[in-house]
């Protein structure tokens, strides 16, 4: 085997497991509230994937109107997310939009949905529930492979550019680290193992009750923080083939991200500490917007350029989801009300830019068998060759 042939062999492995995936963008229009009821809607849904507002037409992957249920959103985004996760892909779901547009309702659900009104449950508990069901199915279906699954969760909040552990609020100001083995992670963040939906519900209830909210003049209860719930699934399997034993380890994670309100600062009448908060929140959010512009440009022109992931906590933490090794879904939440029209337009423009990004998601799998040992030898040989030159 020549080194060239060996290198060829190495390079030929892989692409089958990778997918050039665009960002899935969904717009959800929430129903009018009591105050808005008589005002009609400024948005017209034209088809399953298009809408018009102020004489402009926008097209996305899907438009979910005021009739859409939590189950509809699960079918659109959650069900594919579960299958991708089991296949070994990393994913993130972001909820973007102004305060009061339905982000929290969509991602977590109505406030009492985890305990009582289950039909109001949001995307996160539905995805976790389905994951447990599917894991059971997979274990039964592939009994020969001795599949072992391990699931764990973490829940954090970014507020004022500081990271707090929502599962242990004594842990404040946590730091983001990065290394070759683990990638980007939050140091000392609590990770709880979960083995049932009850476990997950308990963690969600705990984390959500720890979320910080504060009032501003525009919104009685406005969310000034970003919260990120991460669900990690690890699976090990063993299989006997051609007289040898190979084992594989797959690991995938899903990040559920409820972003702070995207409304412009001047409307909130923020002052003093509030203004400082808003400034910082805008740093993470505006940096997200910034990156989306850059990545959309890179995808369109093919020109590489520096991507400033580390300029905010949010983009540093979720860099893999932005143009990297993860599938990304963006739920853009909007209000139908006339009074929200300019914010709605700005959300839709954000959504349209996000649509242009291309991520490169690959299956995260380590196979310990002869081929992998060979690959390692090839790598060593190549390094040696390189040193000799």
CA distance 216 to 214: 7
- What residues contact 34, with CB distance under 8 A and at least 6 apart? none
Does residue 32 bind ligand ADP (CB under 6 A)?
Answer: no
Report the DSSP pairing between strands 43-47 and 358-362: unpaired
Q: CB nearer to ligand ADP: give 154 or 347.
A: 347
Angle of CA points 89, 383, 303, to nearest 5°? 50
Joined together, the tokens standing for residue 68 give 């859409």
Using CB under 6 A as the criterion, what x/- string covers residues 219-248 for binding ligand ADP?
A: ----x-------------------------
Bridge partners of 64, per DSSP, are 28
Q: Which of residues 129-168 bind Mg ion (CB under 5 A)?
A: none
Q: Which of residues 323-362 bind ligand ADP (CB under 6 A)?
A: 333
Binding residue (CB under 5 A) for Mg ion from 90, 124, 190, 223: 223
| Distance in Å, CB of 102 to Mg ion, minimum | 8
Task: Tell me the C-alpha to C-alpha distance, in Å, between residue 243 and each of 144, 240, 246, 369, 374.
Answer: 15, 6, 10, 12, 18
Binding residue (CB under 6 A) for ligand ADP from 24, 30, 130, 283: 30
Does residue 225 bind Mg ion (CB under 5 A)?
Answer: no
371-379 contacts at long range (C-beta below 8 A, 24 or more positions apart): 371/13, 374/6, 374/9, 375/10, 375/13, 378/3, 378/6, 378/7, 378/9, 378/10, 379/10
Q: How many residues bind ligand ADP (CB under 6 A)?
A: 14
Place of tokens 């029209």: 341
Q: CB nearer to ligand ADP: give 252 or 347.
A: 347
Joined together, the tokens standing for residue 190 give 């609590």
Does residue 121 bind Mg ion (CB under 5 A)?
Answer: no
Place of tokens 């002052």: 271
| Distance in Å, CB of 258 to ligand ADP, minimum | 7
Does residue 22 bind ligand ADP (CB under 6 A)?
Answer: no
Q: CB nearer to ligand ADP: give 227 or 252.
A: 227
Confirm whether residue 103 is marked as ligand binding. yes
Residue span binding ligand ADP (CB under 6 A) among the ranges 99-107, 182-190, 230-238, 355-363: 99-107
Task: Tell me the C-alpha to C-alpha distance, in Å, between residue 319 and each of 48, 149, 186, 255, 357.
Answer: 30, 26, 13, 12, 13
Residue 88, binding choice from ligand ADP, Mg ion, none, Cβ under 5 to 8 Å by partner class: none
Q: Name the residue whose CB lies closest to ligand ADP.
A: 102
Residue span binding ligand ADP (CB under 6 A) among the ranges 77-85, 98-106, 194-202, 285-293: 98-106
CA distance 293 to 96: 15
Confirm whether residue 344 is marked as ligand binding. no
Binding residue (CB under 6 A) for ligand ADP from 9, 87, 110, 374: 110
Does residue 101 bind Mg ion (CB under 5 A)?
Answer: no
Residue span binding Mg ion (CB under 5 A) among the ranges 46-54, 102-110, 337-345, 346-354: 102-110
Q: CB nearer to Mg ion: give 107 or 326.
A: 107
Q: CB nearer to ligand ADP: give 31 or 80.
A: 31
Does residue 103 bind ligand ADP (CB under 6 A)?
Answer: yes
Confirm whether residue 44 is marked as ligand binding. no
First to last CA, the chain: 20
CA distance 367 to 13: 12
Binding residue (CB under 5 A) for Mg ion from 104, 235, 287, 344: 104
What does R_g of the chain's alpha carbons equal in angstroms?
A: 22
Confirm whether residue 169 is marked as ligand binding. no
Does residue 125 bind ligand ADP (CB under 6 A)?
Answer: no
Confirm whether residue 301 is marked as ligand binding. no
Q: Which of residues 184-223 bind ligand ADP (CB under 6 A)?
A: 223
Confirm whether residue 104 is marked as ligand binding. yes
Task: Tell me the C-alpha to C-alpha distance, in Å, between residue 102 and each of 225, 272, 332, 353, 360.
Answer: 15, 28, 9, 21, 29
For 191, phi then psi, to 5°, come to: -125, 120
User: Which residues bind to Mg ion, rule: CB under 5 A?
Assistant: 103-104, 223
User: Which residues bind to ligand ADP, rule: CB under 6 A?
Assistant: 30-31, 97, 99-105, 110, 223, 261, 333
């Amino acid at each position: 085997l020549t080194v060239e042939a060996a290198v060829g062999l190495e390079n030929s492995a892989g692409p089958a497991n990778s997918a050039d995936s665009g960002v899935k963008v969904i717009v959800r229009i929430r129903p009018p509230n009591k105050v808005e009821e008589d005002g009609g809607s400024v948005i017209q849904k034209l088809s399953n994937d298009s809408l018009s507002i102020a004489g402009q037409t926008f097209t996305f992957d899907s438009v979910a109107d005021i009739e859409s249920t939590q189950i509809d959103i699960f079918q659109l985004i959650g069900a594919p997310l579960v299958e991708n996760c089991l296949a070994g892909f990393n994913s993130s779901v972001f909820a973007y939009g102004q305060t009061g547009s339905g982000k929290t309702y969509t991602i977590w659900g109505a406030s009492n949905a985890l305990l009582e009104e289950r039909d109001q449950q949001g995307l996160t508990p539905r995805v976790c529930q389905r994951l447990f069901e599917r894991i059971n199915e997979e274990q039964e279906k592939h009994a020969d492979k001795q599949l072992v699954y391990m699931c764990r969760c973490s829940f954090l909040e970014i507020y004022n550019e500081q990271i707090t552990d929502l599962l242990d609020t004594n842990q404040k100001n946590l730091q983001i680290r990065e290394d070759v083995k683990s990638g980007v992670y939050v140091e000392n963040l609590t990770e709880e193992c979960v083995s049932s939906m009850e476990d997950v519900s308990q963690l969600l209830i705990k984390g959500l009750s720890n979320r910080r909210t504060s009032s501003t003049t525009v919104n009685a209860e406005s969310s000034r923080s970003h919260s990120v719930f991460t669900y990690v699934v690890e699976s090990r399997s063993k299989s006997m083939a051609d007289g040898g034993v190979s084992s594989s380890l797959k690991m995938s994670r899903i990040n559920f991200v409820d972003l702070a309100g995207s409304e412009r600062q001047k409307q909130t009448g923020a002052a003093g500490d509030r203004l400082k908060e808003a400034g910082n929140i805008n740093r993470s959010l505006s940096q997200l917007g910034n990156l989306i512009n850059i990545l959309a440009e890179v995808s369109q022109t093919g020109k590489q350029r520096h991507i400033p992931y580390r300029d905010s906590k949010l983009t540093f933490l979720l860099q893999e989801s932005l143009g990297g090794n993860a599938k990304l879904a963006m739920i853009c939440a909007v209000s139908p009300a006339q009074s929200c029209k300019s914010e709605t337009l700005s959300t839709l423009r954000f959504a349209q830019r996000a649509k242009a990004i291309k991520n490169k998601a690959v299956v995260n799998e380590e196979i310990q068998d002869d081929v992998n040992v060979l690959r390692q030898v090839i790598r060593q040989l190549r390094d040696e060759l390189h040193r000799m030159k």
